[in-house]
Amino acid sequence: MKKFNCPSCGAEAEFSSNFSVYAVCKYCSSMIVRHDLDVESIGTMAALPEDMSPLQIGTEGYYQGQHFSLVGRMKMGWEDGSWNEWFMATDDGRKGWLAEAQGFYAICFETEAPPLDFAVKAIKQQKQDVSFIGSAHRLNNQKLNVVDSKKASCLGSEGELPLLARQGRLVVSVDLLGAYGEFASVEIETGKLRAYVGRYVDWKEMRCSNIRTFDGW
Ligand SMILES: [Zn+2]
């Protein structure tokens, strides 16, 4: 855990995950980047669009016996909707994400990215001139098939994150599924690939605490 003061408003804040390099100040919405010795403000993040997620920064839960807490969120949008990518701090020090879309949840950990031709095919798929959906790939020793590939952009972020999530950051997002609930996603951003492999999880099995409450519920 690393404490610092927000360069804009002076409020005390902290990076609770060693992976975090980027944070949004919860008091003044400054976007803050962590350098070796200091922190720098690089602008202001607009308010996140409202949604009905039961999750929030500070929600805790379990995945395969391991405790996690949610420390950041990136909200992603595409032409037909939006989803949340929650960055988790885990006790075993892995870089994990909880993806949340329409009441479905998947927990993934960053893994070695597939070869670059994967990105070429995914981007060609956006122009509908190659059969990429359905193709089989091996990621982190799991056999997965591409089920979806779409253009998405960052609608906003909050909390701390391991990457710079400016509003409007454009990616191609590819989802892959295995035969037994394995889930992976590959995110392509200007020639760089990031891959995450994990599985779908039930709401109940996460045993979440400190969830969001809604007025009147
Ligand atoms: Zn601040």
* Contact in structure between 102 and 94 (CB atoms under 8 Å): no
pLDDT on residue 217: 59
| CATH number of the domain within which 25 lies | 2.20.28
Query: Which domain does 7 fall in, by range?
Result: 2-44
What are the pLDDT digits (tens) for 165-216?
A: 888 889 999 999 999 999 999 999 987 999 999 999 999 999 999 999 887 6
User: Is residue 206 assigned to a domain?
Assistant: no
User: Is residue 142 assigned to a domain?
Assistant: no
Dist. CA 170 → ligand 1 center (Å)? 26
User: Is residue 215 assigned to a domain?
Assistant: no
Dist. CA 163 → ligand 1 center (Å)? 19
Dist. CA 47 → ligand 1 center (Å)? 14
User: Is residue 15 assigned to a domain?
Assistant: yes
Q: What domain count does the chain have? A: 1
Tens-level pLDDT at each residue, the chain (217 residues): 788 999 999 999 889 888 999 999 999 999 999 998 889 999 999 888 888 899 999 999 999 999 999 999 999 999 999 999 999 999 888 889 999 998 999 999 999 999 999 999 999 998 888 889 999 999 988 999 999 999 999 999 999 999 888 888 899 999 999 999 999 999 999 879 999 999 999 999 999 999 998 876 5
User: Is residue 13 assigned to a domain?
Assistant: yes
Spell out where 30-141 has E strands: 30-34, 39-44, 60-63, 66-78, 81-90, 96-101, 104-111, 136-139
* Contact in structure between 69 and 60 (CB atoms under 8 Å): yes
User: Is residue 133 assigned to a domain?
Assistant: no
Going by C-alpha positions, the residue among 12, 49, 43 that lies closest to residue 29 is 43
Locate tokens 């949604």: which residue?
51
Neighbours of 168 (CB within 10 A): 8
User: Is residue 21 assigned to a domain?
Assistant: yes
* pLDDT mean across residues, the chain: 92
Dist. CA 186 → ligand 1 center (Å)? 32
User: Is residue 149 assigned to a domain?
Assistant: no
Dist. CA 87 → ligand 1 center (Å)? 20
